[in-house]
Structure 1
Amino acid sequence: MPCTHDKPKLSLLHTGLPITLIAVLAAGIVHQAGFMMSAPPEGAVYEPATIAVPPRSYSYRSDGEFLKGTAPIDAPMKTVVAGPSLTITKYHVTASEYRACVSGGACRSSETATSRADVPATGVSFDDATAYAHWLSEVTGEYWTLPTDEQLAQAAGKRFPDDALGLDPDSKNPALRWLADYEREARERATGDPVPRPTGSFGENEYGLADFGGNIWEWTSTCHRRVHLYVNGSVRASEEICGVYVTVGTHRSPMSSFIRDPKGGGCAVGTPPDNLGFRLVKSTRWYAPLLKTLRHVGWTT
């Protein structure tokens, strides 16, 4: 009879003790690895202004070059259901903010450095922008990244560009697209505005995002791609071209990761951007500290 009372206690001992030991061991590893490190006390100095874009469903035109057979066509529209809210910097990273990274030895000086503090940092490559995101993560204890093309579409709202030419996708006359491309590029060159302006010069969108679609094209972490379609419109092949990334302004423009001056080359298609700059997304997920630490040790980018 006494044995029947001891069995539950033994069972609890055998199962509960290992679980407790594992939990303690895991907590020790997490602490030693720095996953739960608090933010550096000086990090608040570098914390940029952000906005929270609410969860929403939206449609926008897919990124990339789409070809039906050998003929380029407009990219299809796609619908995105964005579940979590998005925390993104309200303004582009400014020249003064970028200089702090240069002073810290983590970033290269931009090619179009300016003495003004309130002008966006321009003349920066994808590699420069990524280096800044890593540095900001270190000094704030948070996890910052470049936005994806899709995240930028979520934040930009009605200001996100639609690059469609509106031509018949079944047209067999390539001259129509050449002419439409030429006319669009002529309009874009005529309205070019190469001089960066102080933050806030181009107003805000419906979510409070400032200056999107002005004269700064924004780096994203989305690789350019080339999508080949069958005649019926289904996908035959999709080729990601990482090393060339999507930048977004008044139109999309894929750029090589090392390009700092868009007029000096590296633009795959279309009119070159006026300037290259960037803004960042902050992860608010519970596992953001883990992502930051994994990147710090070189396990992620």
Structure 2
Amino acid sequence: MSALSSPHLSSSVSIALPALLMLAFAGGLAFQAGLFRPATTDIPVPATIRIEPHSFTYRPAGEFYKNGFAVDAPKVEIKRTRTLDIMKYQVTTAEYDACVAEGACPAREQQTPSSLDLPATGISHDDATAYALWLSRRTNAVWTLPSDEDLAFAAGSKFPDDALGVDPDSKNPALRWLADYQREASRKASRDPTPQSLGRFGEGEYGLADFAGNVWEWTTTCNRKVTLAEGGVTASASESCGIYIASGKHRSPLSSFIRDPKSGGCSVGTPPDNVGFRLVRDNTWYSRLVFTFRHAAS
């Protein structure tokens, strides 16, 4: 029997050929859509760090209730098995202003100088999303805002724990009121809320710089209201994706259009001093293809 008539070879060819054809088809579409255009070199690519896989304890963001009372979100143990590439520093005023100059981003609301050494603040969630889209197109990479969990993974011990520390089975509302009062009293505004130069607030154990300084950071995490049953199991949950979590010294849910959190808006509790952002880079092999198809018409 010839090698070409081998049943094993025929089976392999029948499996591999459709996959190769699909890959060629996807590559053709990507080429037509401009996916493989050479990256531009006239803007600096932001410095990133790679967070290696590790396990960490995380208290999910949101408003949690049990038996009609506000309670702390149950802590969960998370094991990340993939690396995360994230900007070492927050996006700077000069980097953001380059997007403004090209008409792809709205102007900043806070009048800090345009510099590669100052974090961009006075930025809404919508503004930050526009910048991520612009940077992705200008560098031929895929950049997105991180989730709250991404920041917890990267920030390590600098990530806040917003727990009230009240027994979830207690039915005494005064205990929760007192705990909430003490927590908010400890969240006093910084003595100097003016955005500081990069590196001013140091680095965490994984190399993430300036997290939990006086600039909070937008995330893709929507604010949630969760009702817990016995054992900390979720009985029901509702999500509001017009309000996103900004993470820093503490978490703050803010409307997507808010640029100055001190003006009020939908901030709950003590508002952030400032709000800015940093991005993560998606290095999965299919990320550019998905990005191009998703934004082909925009």
Task: Give TM-score, length-normalised by structure 2.
Answer: 0.90
AA aligned to 1:93 is V
- Tell me the CA shift for residue 265 of structure 1: 1.9
Superposed CA offset, 1:220-252 (max 9, x none): 001010001124532210111111001101111
CA gap 1:229/1:298 in 2 versus in 1, 3 angstroms: farther
Asked if 2 retains the 8 angstrom alpha-carbon contact of 1:51 and 1:87, the reply is yes
Q: Gapped runs of 5+ residues in structure 1?
A: none
Alpha-carbon deviation of 1:288?
1.9
Contact kept in structure 2, 1:66 and 1:228, CA below 8 Å: yes
Residue 73 of structure 1 is matched in structure 2 by 71
Contact 1:193 1:274 survives alignment (8 Å): no
CA 1:284–1:25 in structure 2 vs 1: closer, same or farther (change >3 Å)?
closer
Selected match of 2:105 from 104, 107, 125? 107
Q: CA RMSD in A?
A: 2.4
* Alignment partners' CA distance in 2, 1:104 and 1:179: 50
Long gaps (5+) in structure 2: none
What is residue 246 of structure 2 aligned with on the other side?
Answer: 247
Deviations along 1:98-138, one digit per CA (max 9) or x if unpaired, are: 10000010011111032251111001100000000000001
Residues 183-222 of structure 1 aligned to structure 2 (within 5 Å): 183-189=182-188, 191=190, 193-222=192-221
**1:275 partnered with 2:274:** yes
Is the 2:190–2:273 contact (alpha carbons within 8 Å) kept by the matching residues of 1?
A: no
Distance 1:255 1:68, change over 3 A: same
Deviation at 1:189, TM superposition (A): 1.7
User: Which residue type is aligned with residue 193 of structure 2?
Assistant: P
The C-alpha deviation readout for 1:49-69, integer Å capped at 9, x for no partner, is 111111111111111110002
Which of structures 1 and 2 has the bigger CA Rg?
A: 1
Give the SS at the match of 1:179: helix
Deviations 1:206-227 (A, max 9, x none): 1111100100110000101000
SS of 2:268 mapped into structure 1: coil
Residues 46 and 136, structure 1, Cα contact 8 Å, conserved in 2 = no
Amino acid at match of 1:99: D
Partners of 2:247 and 2:91 in 1: CA distance: 15
SS at structure 2 position matched to 1:46: coil
Report what 2:62 is aligned to.
64
Contact 1:188 1:271 in 2 (8 A): yes
Between the aligned partners of 1:129 and 1:295, the Cα distance in structure 2 is: 18
1:85 aligns with 2:83: yes
Deviates more, 1:75-84 or 1:290-299: 290-299
Give the structure 1 partner of residue 96 of structure 2. Answer: 98
Secondary structure, aligned partner of 1:167:
coil
TM-score (norm 1): 0.89
Supply the AA of the counterpart residue of 1:111.
E
Give SS of 1:189's match.
Answer: coil
Distance 2:92 2:70 in 1: 37
Partner of 1:36: 36
2:178 is matched with 179
State the SS of the aligned residue for 2:180: helix
Partner AA of 1:265 in structure 2: G
CA distance in 1, matches of 2:294, 2:241: 19
Partner Cα separation in structure 2 for residue 7 and residue 55 of structure 1: 45
Q: Distance in 2 between matches of 1:182 and 1:17?
A: 64
2:221 partner letter: T
Counterpart contact for 2:74–2:232, Cα < 8 Å: no
> What whole-Å deviation, never above 9, does each CA across 1:137-165 have from its counterpart, x for those lacking one?
01001000000011110100110000011
Per-residue CA deviation, residues 229-287 of structure 1 (Å, 9 max, x unaligned), is 12453221011111100110111111110011101122342211110000000011111
What is aligned with 2:222? 223
Please report how far the alpha carbon of residue 180 of structure 1 lies from its aligned counterpart in structure 2 after TM superposition: 1.5
Q: CA deviation at 1:33?
A: 2.4
Letter paired with 2:222: C
2:258 is aligned with what amino acid?
Answer: I
Q: 1:143, 1:291 within 8 Å by CA — same for their partners in 2?
A: no
Structure 1 residues 30 and 68, CA gap change in structure 2 (3 angstroms): same
Residue 144 (structure 1) aligns with? 143
How many matched pairs?
A: 292
Would you say the 8 A contact 2:92–2:119 is kept in 1? Answer: yes
Residues 79-99 of structure 1: CA deviation (Å, up to 9, x unaligned): 111111110001000111110
Structure 2 CA distance for partners of 1:190 and 1:22, relative to 1, 3 Å: closer
